[in-house]
Structure 1
Amino acid sequence: MSHNEAKEHTPGRLNELFTDPYRAFENDTDERQLHIRIMLHMLLARPMTRGQMTLRVIHGWENGGCEPEDLQHVDYTLDGVPDFKRAVQDFEHASKHNTPLPADNSAILAAPLANAIADAEAEGQDLTNDIRETPARWPAFEGGLALYTLFKMYHRLIYGEDDTYRCTQCVTPLGMREIHEFHLEEGEFALLVPPAEHFMGKESLLVLHESQLGPIEQLLEESLPLFDNF
C-alpha cells in the first residue's frame, strides 16, 4: 500500500483564498454566501469556461446499501449551466416516465476495484474475502487506499455528512486530484480539481447524487452569473 495514494484533511486551492476553509462555509460564518460564490467561481466556473469540467451524477445506492457494483453514474460535459439543465431534464424525464435512470456502462468503483485486486494477486498477494469485501480493508493492497477514499466520498455524497467541508488529495483515474467536498444547506457535491501546478491545463470533475440535481441547479443559477461582468 502506498500512503501517497490519498491524504485526508489536506491544504488545497481554497487555502489560497480563505484563512480557514473548514470554517468558511459553516452556517454561522460571516460572509458565508460570498465564500460559496467565490469558491464556485474559482473551482467550477473557470474550469467550465476552459472546457475542462465534467458533471458526474451518481445513483444506485439506497437504503444504506453500498455495494461497489450497485453504484451507477452518468457523465456530462459541463461547459455551462445549460449543460447542467440537460442532466436535470434527463433525470426528470426518467422519473416521470418510470424508466431507468441514465447510466454509463462503465463501473466507476467495481471495475477499478476488480483490477486492483487482480493486480495484487498477480503480484502474489493473498487477499481474503474479508479484505475484498470490506472497504476499510482495501488499503491492504496497492490502489486500495485511493479506492477506499473515493468510496467514502461517494458514501458521504449519498448518505450525508456532518462536516460542511473537507479537502482530500487522492489518486483518481484522472490523476492526482484535490477533492473539495461540500455538504451545505444549499446542496451536497464534490469538486475534484487538479493541484495548483496543473490547475489550468487538466480536467476537473463535479460529482453529486441525483437527488441533488435540483438544489445545485438553483445554486448555480443564483451564483455563477454574479461574476459575469467582472
Structure 2
Amino acid sequence: MSYTEAKEHTQGRLNALFADPYRAFENNTDERQLHVRVMLYMLLARPMSRGDMTLRVIHGWENGSCEPGDLQHADYVLNTLDDVKRAVRDFDQASKQNAPLPSEDPAILAMPLANVIADAKAEGQEVTDDIPKMPARWPALEGGLALYTLFKMYHRLVYGEDDVYRCSQCQTALGPREIHEFHLEESEFALLVPLVGQPKEAPSLLVLHESQLKPIEKLLEESLSLLNDF
C-alpha cells in the first residue's frame, strides 16, 4: 500500500476561493448560491469550454449492493448542456422501454481491481478469493488504496452522504486527480480535475448516479447561461 495513491480530506483548487470550502456549500451558509455558481464555473464550465470534460453516469448498484462487477457506467463527451440532455434522453428512453441502461467497457471498478489482484499475485503476495468482496482490504495491495478511495466515492454517490462537500486526491486512470464531491440539495455529483500545480488542460470527469441526471440538468440549465457570460 502506498499513501501517495490517495489522500482524503485534502486542500484543493477551491481553497484558493473559499476560506473554508467544507462549509461554503452548507444550506445555512451566507451567499451559498453564489458559492455554488463560482464552483461550477471553476471546476465544470471552464473545463467544458476547453473540451476537457466527460460526463460519467454510473448505475448497477441498488438495494445496498456494492459488488465491483455490478457497477456500470456510460461516458458522454461534455462540451455543452445539450450533451447532458442527450444522456438524460438515453437513460429515459431505456427506462421507458424497460431496456438495459446504457453501459460500456471496460468496467470502471472490476477491471482495475482484477489487474491489482493479478499484479499482487505475480509479486508473490497471497490474495484470498474473497478480497473482491471486501473493499476495506484492498489498500493492502499496491494500487488498492486508490481503488478503495474511488469505491467509497461511488458508494456515496449511489447511496448518499451526510457531508455536503469533501475533497480528496487520488490516482485514477487519467492520472492524479482532485476529487471534489458534492452532496447538495440541488444534485449529488463528483468532479475529478487536475491537481493544483498541474496543467489545467487535462481530461476531467463529472461523475454522478443515473438518478441525478435530471437534477444536474436543472442545475446546469440555471447556471451555465450565467456562467457563459464570464
- Range into which the TM-score falls when normalised by the shorter chain: over 0.9
Q: Which residue of 2 aligns with 1:154?
A: 154
- Structure-2 separation of matches of 1:186 and 1:146: 28
Q: Which residue of 1 aligns with 2:171?
A: 171
Give, in angstroms, the shift of residue 196 of structure 1.
2.1
Amino acid corresponding to residue 82 of structure 2 in structure 1: P
Q: Which residue of 2 aligns with 1:124?
A: 124
Q: Deviations along 1:42-75, whole A, 9 cap, x unmatched? A: 1000000000000000000000000000000000
TM-score, structure 1 as length reference: 0.98
Partners of 2:47 and 2:201 within 8 A in 1: no
Q: What is the correspondence of 1:28-107 to structure 2 with a 5 Å cutoff? A: 28-107=28-107
Amino acid corresponding to residue 217 of structure 1 in structure 2: E
Say how many residue pairs are matched. Answer: 230
- Structure-1 separation of matches of 2:161 and 2:132: 25
- Structure-1 separation of matches of 2:108 and 2:227: 34
Give the SS at the match of 2:197: helix
Give the SS at the match of 1:49: helix
Q: Deviations along 1:106-162, whole A, 9 cap, x unmatched? A: 100000000000000000000123434200010011000000000000000000000
* Shift >4 Å, 4+ stretches: none
TM-score, structure 2 as length reference: 0.98
Amino acid corresponding to residue 222 of structure 1 in structure 2: E
Percent identity among equivalent residues? 73
Query: What are the ranges of 5 or more consecutive residues in structure 1 without an aligned counterpart?
Result: none
Partners of 2:88 and 2:213 within 8 A in 1: yes
Q: Which residue of 2 aligns with 1:189?
A: 189
Give the SS at the match of 1:198: coil
Amino acid corresponding to residue 27 of structure 1 in structure 2: N
Give the SS at the match of 1:197: coil
RMSD, aligned CA: 0.9
Partners of 1:131 and 1:140 within 8 A in 2: no
Q: Which residue of 1 aligns with 2:20?
A: 20
Give the SS at the match of 2:61: coil
- Structure-1 separation of matches of 2:22 and 2:173: 26
Partners of 1:193 and 1:199 within 8 A in 2: no
Partners of 2:186 and 2:215 within 8 A in 1: yes
Give the SS at the match of 1:44: helix
Q: Deviations along 1:20-45, whole A, 9 cap, x unmatched? A: 00000000000000000000001000
